Amino acid sequence: MNKKVSELLNAQVNKEFYSAYLYLGISKFFTQQDLPVFAAWYKVQAEEEQEHAMKIYAYLLDQDEDVSLDAIAEVKAEFKTILDAVQEADKHEHYITDEIVKIMDAAVADKDYRTQLMLNWFISEQQEEETNSKEMVAKVKMLGNDAKNLYLLDKELAERK
């Protein structure tokens, strides 16, 4: 595998674990706000991010590439408002999309079709992630900080499978 592609994929393993950590921080915030279903939603997100990391991890090992298990950066997760928390997640998903595109660009430049095939999954996953996080921001904006509305939204989120 091309050195740059390998380095970017290794960095992405770390970024996906960081994403899991960030979502855990957001989940913690919602638990502390007494919104358990919001908390559960972001905890599921955190689990999904670990799966993303493991997908790339497994791919690298399949290709006989090493995986560097670098330190995962600290997450502060101190949000002023509920809107702040959901906006942080939305901003982060856009950042991750940009990072995936950068790896894809490197794989295309190197004519690395296998990596492109693997990354295709991430390209469509990021579309889904952005749609979800955008909807969450829109809902929280509509409902504001009204306790009753947030309670109802919390119940609606409980229907997530």
Which residues are near Fe ion by CB under 5 A?
Answer: 16, 49, 52, 129
Residue whose tokens read 């959901």: 86
Smallest gap, in angstroms, from Cβ of residue 80 to Fe ion?
Answer: 23
CB 5 within 8 A of CB 109: no
Least separation in angstroms between residue 57's CB and Fe ion is 13
Q: Which is nearer to Fe ion, 35 or 46 (CB)?
A: 46
Residue type for position 134: K
d(CA 76, CA 11): 21
Q: Give the helix, strand, coil percentages of the chain, each rounded to 5.
A: 80, 0, 20
What minimum distance in Å lies between the beta carbon of 157 and Fe ion? 17
- Residue number, 155 or 160, with CB nearest to Fe ion: 160
Would you say 69 or 147 has its CB closer to Fe ion? Answer: 69
Nearer to Fe ion, 54 or 147 (CB): 54
In angstroms, what is the minimal distance from the CB of 97 to Fe ion?
9
- Separation CA 74–CA 90 (nearest Å): 19
